[in-house]
Each structure stands twice: as structure tokens, then as C-alpha cells.
């Protein structure tokens, strides 16, 4: 574990998840199962009905789920590559990197389904709603090991619940999902819920983000770089990504950079 060297930056996008699915057959099978589950698809659709149509917020549906899944796995992979043992492995609730990655991906895919009921407390609602979905997916993957299924399920539920700003992540796996949730902010996809069509600081800042990348250095496992078209994009970083990192439990392994016109801008980490 941790022998892999990752130096190249990758762009946070819906396509990133495919790279991780190619490396891990267990993830591919889980993705096929959940993406063909009609209840899951309906919950994603309802999440956007509630968030986009009724509250006029930004996307919380299938595209966001895929983006956060890829970003979560990329962050997790880079931490592991720095010889850091995942929490679920050290605590014995998972037995391999592949299983730990499964926890990360499932939590990322399901982290916003609580919006299908209401935006308020959606992280807790989502964790509770995920039980039946997770039972179906994990039964297909581990048909002869109920104890393993329950342990993995509870870890995924923790990952969903801990995406809330005020709920600390207690595992590296959950922390990766929490941070990744804040990385989906390019081209108006910011994680501050902003009112569509409203010309306020939330919307202006959201539209200021050009792209987000994830990289590494020898000293820092995860370097998140936010490239901005306007300085207003700093608002998104300081209001969403920085607080997510601070509550993730993985902050010592993560650095954030804001880049505008080729220069790095200072960030306020006191919020």
C-alpha cells in the first residue's frame, strides 16, 4: 500500500469516475447495479425536483453524483499513495483497498438523495434512505457474508451523513467524500446553493470558477487547485470548500490553491 506515485493533475469532471472504474472491478459491478436501480434513479430525479425546480438551486442530481464520486476516489487514491492507511482498514470494517474504495464511491453516489425529501437535514435523511439501496447492492457483491455487508453499509451511511458541514468525518473515507463534494464548482456548478437567475454574490462567484484540478506533491497528498475567471470565485472556496476540508478529518493532507490570471491568491482559512 502507498507505493504508487501520482504526480499529474486531473480535472474534476463527470468523466473522472470512469478512470477509477477501470482499475477496480468491484466498483464497476457496484456502479452497474446502482445505476440500474430504479429507486436510486427516481431519488436523484426527485432531488433535482426539490433543489432545482422548487428551491431554484443548482444541480444535485446524476451529474453531481458522478462528479463527486470521481473526485472522492481521486482524493482517496492520492492519500493512500502516500502510505496512509484508510480508517476502515485499520479499524477492521473493510478488509482491502478495493472495499474501502467501494465505501467511498457508494457514499459519494448516495450523498445527496436526502434532497428528494427536503433540503433541510438532507444529509441525515439521505443516510437513512440509503439503507435499502445499500442492502441490495452489497447483497449482490457479498452474498455469503452478512456481517461484512452490515459493516460496509454503516460506513457508507456515515460517509453520507458526514457530508454535512457540522458533522465531523470520523474516517478518511468519509472525509474524502466531504471534501470532494466541495470540488464540484466549475462553470456555475458551485456547492453554495444559489438561486437560479439571481444576480448576487453566490451566483457571480459560482460563474467565476473555470476549472478545479486535483494533484499531489511529495509533501502533500492532495493539492486542490481552483482556476478562476474572476476574483469573486474566492467566495465559493472560502464559504464551501475550506469549511468542508476543516471538518473532514483529512485537512492535514490537503492543500487548496486559488489561481487567477496566473497568480495564486490568498485564502481565508479562519471561517
Any domain includes 140: yes
Any domain includes 19: yes
Any domain includes 169: yes
Report the distance separating Cα 240 and Cα 126, nearest Å. Answer: 20
**pLDDT for res 92:** 98
Residue 99: which of 132, 66, 64, 145 has the closest Cα? 145
Residue 116: which of 156, 66, 161, 61 has the closest Cα? 61
Any domain includes 161: yes
**pLDDT for res 240:** 86
Any domain includes 250: yes
**pLDDT for res 3:** 46
Structural domain boundaries enclosing 212:
10-265
Enter the pTM of the model.
Answer: 0.93
Any domain includes 1: no
Express each pLDDT in 91-146 by its tens digit.
999 999 999 999 999 999 999 999 999 989 999 999 999 999 999 999 999 999 99
**pLDDT for res 127:** 98
Any domain includes 271: no
Given a cut of 50, the residues of the chain with pLDDT beneath it are: 1-3, 191-192
Domain count, the chain: 1
**pLDDT for res 66:** 96
**What is the residue-wise DSSP string for 176-239?**
HHHHHHTT--GGG--SS---TT--SHHHHHHTTEEEEEEE--SS-SEEEEEEESSGGGHHHIII
**pLDDT for res 6:** 62
**pLDDT for res 192:** 47
Any domain includes 153: yes
Amino acid at each position: 500500500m502507498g507505493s504508487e506515485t501520482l504526480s499529474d493533475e486531473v480535472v474534476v469532471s463527470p468523466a473522472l469516475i470512469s478512470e477509477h472504474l477501470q482499475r477496480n472491478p468491484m466498483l464497476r459491478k457496484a456502479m452497474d447495479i446502482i445505476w440500474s436501480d430504479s429507486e436510486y434513479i427516481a431519488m436523484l430525479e426527485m432531488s433535482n425536483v426539490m433543489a432545482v425546480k422548487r428551491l431554484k438551486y443548482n444541480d444535485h442530481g446524476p451529474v453531481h453524483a458522478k462528479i463527486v464520486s470521481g473526485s472522492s476516489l481521486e482524493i482517496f487514491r492520492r492519500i493512500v499513495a502516500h502510505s496512509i492507511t484508510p480508517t476502515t482498514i485499520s479499524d477492521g470494517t473493510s478488509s482491502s483497498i478495493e472495499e474501502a474504495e467501494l465505501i467511498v464511491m457508494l457514499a459519494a453516489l448516495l450523498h445527496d438523495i436526502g434532497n428528494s425529501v427536503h433540503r433541510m437535514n438532507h444529509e441525515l435523511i439521505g443516510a437513512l434512505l440509503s439503507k435499502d439501496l445499500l442492502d441490495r447492492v452489497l447483497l449482490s457483491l457479498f452474498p455469503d457474508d452478512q456481517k461484512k455487508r452490515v459493516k460496509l453499509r454503516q460506513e457508507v451511511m456515515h460517509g453520507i451523513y458526514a457530508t454535512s458541514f457540522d458533522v465531523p468525518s470520523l474516517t478518511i473515507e468519509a472525509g474524502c467524500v466531504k471534501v470532494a463534494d466541495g470540488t464540484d464548482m466549475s462553470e456555475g456548478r458551485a456547492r453554495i446553493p444559489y438561486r437560479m437567475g439571481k444576480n448576487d454574490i453566490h451566483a457571480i462567484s459560482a460563474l467565476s470558477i473555470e476549472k478545479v484540478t486535483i494533484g499531489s506533491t511529495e509533501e502533500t497528498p492532495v493539492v486542490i487547485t481552483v482556476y478562476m475567471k474572476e476574483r469573486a470565485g474566492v467566495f465559493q472556496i472560502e464559504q464551501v470548500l475550506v469549511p468542508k476540508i476543516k471538518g473532514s478529518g483529512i485537512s492535514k493532507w490537503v492543500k487548496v490553491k486559488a489561481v487567477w490570471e496566473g497568480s495564486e491568491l490568498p485564502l481565508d482559512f479562519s471561517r
